[in-house]
Structure formats: structure tokens, C-alpha cells
Amino acid sequence: MSRTTPRSKAALARVNMLAAIEEAIESQTRYHVYMSMRMRMGVAALLVVGASSVAAADSFGGFSSIDRPYLVNQDKVCQPLKVTSGKASGSPSCAKATTEEVAKLSIKLPGTSSVFTASSSGRTLTITKKGSGSVVAWNASDSIGAIVEVFPSQYDDRVAVTYTIRRAGREVTEVIAFDLLGTNPTTTTPAPVDPPPTTTPPPTTDPKVDKALVTARKSAKRKAVAAWKAVLALDAEHSEGLYGLAAAQVRTKANADALATLAKLAASTRTDAVEWIIEARFDAAFSPLRTDAEYRKLVGYDRPATTVYERLMGLGGQWEQTGTSCDKPEVRFNALRNRSFKLRVKTRCEGQVYDSPFKGTWRIEGTRIVLTLPTKGKATSAEDEAACEMVTINDEDAMNCRIDRDIEFTVLPTRR
């Protein structure tokens, strides 16, 4: 039987104490490791929740009325995707904008569309236009949940769609817009050629008629009716004479007589009669008749244009193309009844602005508008002329012009 000495008892106590301390340390370490893992898991969970809460719905703010961009929310300006042969790809280019920058774009608030509809299948978004079928097919980065709304631009040359997708576990709304203007050859067709003329040219200049015209143009309101009747006494079908008489009759509140005179002008076979009929659409003298159904019928307000001249001048002769930075110039084209025109082409790129004004005369050749540019006294050649082709884009008249090797544009009529 062994005996334990006091010294051996003390040694054993020290061993037991060390073992207890080591076990306590190991237990504490396991606790801290466990708690550390719990804390990390909690942070990760918070990060996931945080990422989910960051995703927010975008809203469509409208299209620029002077340029191509569109607005998302209140401060993000985006370029619509180009459509080629009914297809678009990629993602729009967007940038934050200041309040002043947004104001300069003259954003028009969106309206609902009765022309465009949209549908989705998986990632594919398809937009159709009434009477034209599918006009855009585009693939989103994720599966599309639902179509929220479709927004057209003022002239239906751009269209935007809001749709839902799932991101970070949440359903969010996104915005996409497309530029339809002049990019889809299947929607661009030549305008019909004018039919063979069934009109008669105005008679050769008569000095007596010319003198009467000068008098009528300068006559005071109370004498204007008699002055214009004096012109018609010399040439009963004189187009400007009928136009001037009708305007004078409206000014004297003889509206029924004015409508009868306009009816004679509308029925005239003179080649220049249509020019004065279109002039009557915009002359302030005819303002009292603007809501009159007979007047609107006579001047052709509510019917499609039937000749190239009417396509060019029917909405006032003013045409425009909105520009995009470093891509497409801003264009203003103004054709006048006296066969003159003014053209301004303005290009902006990387802070530089190039402003090119032109002026000259125009004439109609088939479906084309031929522009003759000034030659500073030199003989006119083919190089001094530029052709504009009348076309139809998305059921709207348009004019495609090539001024020289570097300047080409497609303008739409400016409605007045």
C-alpha cells in the first residue's frame, strides 16, 4: 500500500489545477468561436436584407421634346436604344443630371398609349404598333415579370415601357425606351408620286391684273373687298384674287361669303390654287373660321396630303430633327411659298458647337424636293443642288435630305 507524502499531494493539486484552467480556457475559446460565427452570420443576414432594401422601383419621367433622351425618376437622363429592322439590344446609356440640365431638355410628361402595346415572354420584350405589327423585340438581362405601362412620345417616334423583374429577392420596376425614328427600313416607304397634272397653269402675266393686285394688297380693310373683286373682274379664276377676297370677307364678318369664295378656290384647276388653299390654313385672317367644319373641309385640315407640295407645306413648311450629342445634328428647315428656304444645322459634341446656316430656293421633281444653294454669282451646277426625298416613317410624312457628304438628316414636320 503506497503512501502519499505531503509533497506529492501538493504536486497532484497543482496538476489538477492546471487541468481545470486548461479546460476553462478551451471552453471559453469554444464560446468565443461560436459567438464570433453567430455574429458573422448575423452581419451577413443584415447585408442581404440591406441589399434587398436598396433595390427600388424606377419611374418614367417623360421624353425630351427637343432631343432624343428620356427621363427616369427625376434626375437620370437616358438615351433610348436604337431599333434596327425591328430589333434592339443592350442597355441604355444613362447619367445623373442636374435640375438645370433636365430643364433644358424640355421634358414632356408621359401620356398613356393607344397606339403601342407590349408583351413579354421570358426575357424577351415585344412592342407592337396598331396597324403595323411588331416594331421592337428586345431581351432584358433577367426574366420579365409583368408589363406595367407603355408610354409613347409626342410623335410616336419613341416608345418607353415600364416592366417588373426580380432582383435581390424583391420585385422591382425598371424602365426601357426605344428610338423608332428612321432606323427601321421596313417602316420607311417612298411617298407616292404626284398624279399627272389635271390642272391648268395661270394665264400669262397681264399688266392690268398686276396693277390691280398691287392695289388690292395695299388696300385698307373697308376697301379690300372691292379691291379684290376688281382683280377677279379681270381674271375670274385668279388664285390669289380668290384668296384675298375670302380673307377680306372674313375681316368684314361676311363668313358665309368667305366660305363660298374659298369653295371656288378649292375647286379651281389652276396649278397655284392649292398653294393659296394651304396658305388659308395658317393666315390669322381666317381665325374666326378655324372651328367651322366647312372651312376645315375646304382647306384640307382633316384629310391626308395628296401631293408632294401639300406634304412639304401642308403643316406650315417648317420641319425639324432633334439632335443628339456627337451623333445627330439638330436641324431646322423652313420652306416658304415663294420657293425659298432657310436651313440651320447645329452639331454639339464634347463642348463644341458647330452652327451651319444655309438658304436658297426649292423646287419639286417627282417625289423629291431639290434645294438650290447660293453660288455667289457663279453658274449653277449639280454640285450646288441637294435632294430631299419625301418618305413615310411610322405612318407620318418625313423628309430625308443629303446636303453634302457630311450632312444628312431626316426631318419631321413641325405642327403649328
Q: SS3 for 284? A: helix
| Among the listed residues 399, 409, 398, 368, the one whose alpha carbon sits nearest the alpha carbon of residue 385 | 368
Pairing of strands 340-349, 158-167: unpaired
| Among the listed residues 291, 302, 284, 289, the one whose alpha carbon sits nearest the alpha carbon of residue 261 | 289
| pLDDT on residue 203 | 61
pTM above 0.85, yes or no: no
| pLDDT on residue 236 | 94
Q: Where are the domains of the chain?
A: 60-190, 207-306, 312-413
| pLDDT on residue 42 | 44
| pLDDT on residue 84 | 87
What are the angstrom distances between the C-alpha of 128 and each of 104, 131, 337?
31, 9, 39
Q: Rounded to whole angstroms, how far apart are CA atoms 227 and 214?
A: 10
- Which CATH topology does 207-306 take? 1.25.40
| pLDDT on residue 41 | 43
As a whole number of Å, the CA-based R_g of the chain is: 37
| pLDDT on residue 19 | 59
Query: 312-413: what CATH class?
Result: mainly beta
Residues pairing with 387 in the sheet: 370, 402
Q: What is the DSSP code string of 380-399?
A: P-GGGEEEEEEEEETTEEEE
| pLDDT on residue 46 | 38
| pLDDT on residue 73 | 92
| pLDDT on residue 88 | 92
Q: Which residues of the chain have pLDDT under 50?
A: 1-2, 29, 31-55, 182-198, 380, 382
